Amino acid sequence: MKPWVLVSPSSRGIGLELARRLLRTTDVPIVATARKDLDQTREHVLSGLDGVQEDRLQVLKVNMLDEQTMADAASHLKTTFPLKESYLHLSLILPGILHPEKSPTQINYDHALQTLQVNTLGPLTMLKHFSPFLPRKSTTLESLPGLPSQAVWATMSARVGSITDNNLGGWYSYRASKAAVNQITKTFDNHLKTSAGEKALAISLHPGTVKTGLSKDFWANVKEEKLFSAEFSAEKLMEVVCSRGVEDRGKIWDWKGDEIPP
């Protein structure tokens, strides 16, 4: 069985650096996605990666607001990675937008709807189209350097998605979208227990505060040692993903490998 990896989206920020890191540290095919400028995304992912086989990277169009792009990408990959010959070993689903609201009066319906569409419905619909590529109980998994011992479906969440940990309030739509991601992760992991047994699990990830466009307005409020580069974040998140086992399934993990309460 031929394993492969999905990183979506990969055009910038953490997704870009995860795709680059996986090309450097593994030898499996990497499927990256972007909603536009596919050639530019491919160029950015490959930039400076000397010695990497460029044909390992495939960049496909996926827009988290357009289910048809997900369906088309999945259909294409069924030809590239036939289900009887290949399996998805690692899926990193990473979309994120933020419209911060400090008080209820700042809630904007259209902004809140977009937040839920991108942060929650995007990953949920990706599950619909790409989860069939994950291994089954009968699949023989490969031992792969730079990757976890079992297949992992990891979705980007955030500490503020924790209901238990919410002591400050604010950010209504973003908190709600990430809390929903954590519920999706748990529900999907229950499905994987039945379909894949111990050969696949689902987790949520919290990357910390990373120097990307999403958090740019808040950099000044974060201590320098707690404001991470996307490259550092990608390194730490892969350490977490690769060190999770079946006892860690269905949970939320931060960049240090600490569990976040739901």
CATH number at residue 108: 3.40.50.720
pLDDT at 214: 73
pLDDT at 219: 62
pLDDT at 220: 65
pLDDT at 182: 98
pLDDT at 228: 85
Residue 23 C-alpha from the chain's centroid: 16
Beta-sheet strands, E only, within the chain: 2-8, 30-34, 57-61, 86-93, 151-156, 200-206, 209-210, 227-228, 252-254, 259-260
The parent domain of residue 130 ranges over 2-260
pLDDT at 226: 74
**pLDDT digit string, tens, across residues 27-40:** 999 999 999 999 99
- Strand 86-93 and strand 252-254: the pairing is unpaired
pLDDT at 227: 81
Q: Is this structure's pTM higher than 0.85?
A: yes
pLDDT at 211: 80
pLDDT at 136: 97
pLDDT at 165: 93
pLDDT means per 10 residues, the chain with 262 residues, are 97 97 98 98 96 96 98 98 97 96 97 98 98 97 95 97 94 97 98 98 95 70 77 97 97 97 94
A 10 A CB-CB count for 66 gives 14
Of residues 163, 193, 192, the one with CA closest to residue 180:
163
- 93, two tokens: 């689903």
Number of domains in the chain: 1
Residue 187 C-alpha from the chain's centroid: 16
